[in-house]
Amino acid sequence: MKRLDRLSLGGLACLLVLVVFALGSLAGAGGDPDAIVGPRLRPPGPGWWLGTDNLGRSMLPRVMEGVGTTLLLSSIAVLVTAAVSATFGIIAGYRGGYLNELVMRLVEVLYSFPAIVLAILVAAVLGPGQVAALASIVLATIPLMTRLVRAAAVAVSQRDYVTSAVISGARLPRVLGRHVLPNVAGTIAVQGTYALSVGIAVEGGLSFLGFGVQPPQASLGVLIQRGGTYMIAAPWLILGPGVVLVVAILAINVVGDGLRDQLEPRETRSLT
């Protein structure tokens, strides 16, 4: 297996820094995000390195809390997406027939909705909050992952070792769990990284519109929405969480590209 290139390593380093930020928030390393530490709307300086908000709270611990909230929600949603997509994608790809048609038609219905529109519909039904954000991310990321896992399962199910396992009398759960799943795991891992970036974007957009995480809890979307009110007078309120959101999405996509090159190499290999 090749090493990750420098770009992928850089993206991984940025992602690790964000994870450390999130863990630091849980440990209280940045301070109390709800504590008033100075005057209102002060620019970055000693004592409040990312400035203060409209209530005089330091933006640094609030951004750290926002990173933790956004990453946690998106990660949980992607784990649920991976489990659901792997189950239905593998079964549909291996079994085929009416079951495959049913799964793919349901996936296409979800895929026909833009992610943010689907998220708003889910929030309208469930009501604003973290549950709506989780459900929105899951429904927005399931269609593509299910389609790709299903395509990989179709290719794997035609391999000789799968046919041999069936001929030898192996039951369906054993065939799927021991022979099909390990060989589509690379597709699941790669698509998981892309789903995580989509999840962060959906959570940010949904919270920005007021349908996701609700104040006083901070998320990147909430901080950007609140900072937008003071964009002219205090641009640092939107700059900090906005930059972190963009860096997080770019870093995850770069890491995903590196994983794809590792697990799904596209170049033709010589047999000699």
* Euclidean distance between CA atoms 1 and 34, whole angstroms: 47
**pLDDT tens, residue by residue, 33-80:** 888 888 999 999 888 889 999 899 999 999 999 999 999 999 999 999
Helix (H), strand (E) at residue 243: helix 236-263
Examine the pLDDT at 265 and tell me if it is beyond 70. Answer: no
Helix (H, G, I), strand (E, B) or coil at 45: strand
* Euclidean distance between CA atoms 238 and 226, whole angstroms: 8
Question: Which residues make beta-bridge pairs with 58?
Answer: 52
Confidence class for position 250, pLDDT limits 50, 70, 90: very high
Confidence class for position 1, pLDDT limits 50, 70, 90: low
- Phi, psi of 35, rounded to the nearest 5 degrees: -80, 140
Question: Which residues make beta-bridge pairs with 48?
Answer: 45
* Euclidean distance between CA atoms 131 and 126, whole angstroms: 8
State the pTM of this model.
0.89
**pLDDT tens, residue by residue, 7-21:** 889 999 999 999 998
Helix (H, G, I), strand (E, B) or coil at 270: coil
* Euclidean distance between CA atoms 257 and 272, whole angstroms: 28
Amino acid at the residue 242: G
- Phi, psi of 52, rounded to the nearest 5 degrees: -120, 155
The pLDDT of 155-174, averaged and rounded, is 88
- Phi, psi of 110, rounded to the nearest 5 degrees: -65, -40
Examine the pLDDT at 270 and tell me if it is beyond 70. Answer: no
Label residue 247 left, alpha or beta by phi (over 0 means left) and psi (-120 to 50 means alpha).
alpha
Whether 176 and 94 have beta carbons less than 8 Å apart is answered as yes
Topology of the domain covering 6-241: MetI-like fold (1.10.3720)
* Euclidean distance between CA atoms 238 and 224, whole angstroms: 5
Tell me, what's the pLDDT at 97? 86
Query: What residues does each domain of the chain span?
Result: 6-241
